[in-house]
Structure 1
Amino acid sequence: MPRSIERKYRAVTAFQRRLNAVMRRLPNHTLLETTGRTSGLPRRTPVGGRRVGDSFWLVSEFGERSQYVRNIMADPKVRVRVHGRWHTGTAHLLPDDDPVARLRTLPRLNSAAVRVIGAQLLTVRVDLDG
């Protein structure tokens, strides 16, 4: 990985750790809950995305480097909290999807942030159960 991307990743990760601790506590913020691949414990990550029918779409700013993406690779069963309500589902990583085009269909503010801070964008689709 190029040095500039590595520096960007470390800076963003340090900032997001602090921000995410606050965002997880907000009652209506969208959360993605994965199972920790090592600990087996639930891991909740604030995300920006949109529900479309029976699917929830989001874009990971650091692709397979993101911890929640690594957790999905180990166990694709997830939960998503949208508008304060939890939904179970199965996550799918879509490397062939155009993440920049996908961001144009997702919430504007989050999409702008992902474009600015992201380095290796990856689309994720969660197929929601029932």
Structure 2
Amino acid sequence: MTRLADLRFRAATTVQRRLANPLMRRLPLHAVLETTGRTSGLPRRTPVGGRRVGDSFWLVSEFGERSQYVRNIRVDPRVRVRIRGRWYEGTAHLLPDDDPVARLRSLPRLNSAAVRVIGTQLLTVRVDLADRGRR
């Protein structure tokens, strides 16, 4: 990774952790991905920009394998996703062969633009949702 990419990663993750994520997690209609911490075993909630298509929820990670939630998914792919205020259980799949730039075109515009600008290693993630949501 280049020095510029590393600097972008550090700056973006600092802003996300300290400012954006705590605020976005509180917005009831914003999508949130809940993974299990790979070391702690505790639930970890990350606001994400994605879209439900049928029985799947699609998103693109801006930092790919460096994203904490991607690292958590590698250890335990069982996740929950909050979509429009409702929680759904599911199984996450990392899709390195998918075209993340093309995928972003089908996801919410504002988030997709931010991911393209900030991101250094885009990675598509698909969550296959269980039949029933729960609160």
- Report TM bin, short chain: over 0.9
State the alpha-carbon separation in 2 of the partners of residues 89 and 30 from structure 1: 14
Q: What is the 5 A alignment of 1:1-130? A: 1-17=1-17, 18-130=19-131
> Post-superposition shift, 1:129?
0.7
Q: Please tell me the root mean square deviation across aligned C-alpha atoms, in Å.
A: 0.5
Count of residues paired in the alignment: 130
> Post-superposition shift, 1:28?
1.2
State the alpha-carbon separation in 2 of the partners of residues 111 and 19 from structure 1: 16
- TM-score normalised to structure 2 length: 0.95
- Which of structure 1's runs of 4+ aligned residues deviate more than 3 A? none
State the alpha-carbon separation in 2 of the partners of residues 5 and 117 from structure 1: 9
> Post-superposition shift, 1:107?
0.5
Query: Taking every aligned residue pair, what percent have the same amino acid on both sides?
Result: 78
Q: Deviations over 1:29-73 (max 9, x none)?
A: 110000000000000000000000000000000000000000000
- TM-score normalised to structure 1 length: 0.99
> Post-superposition shift, 1:8?
0.5
Give secondary structure in 1 for the equivalent of 2:69: helix
Unaligned runs of 5+ in 2: none
Unaligned runs of 5+ in 1: none
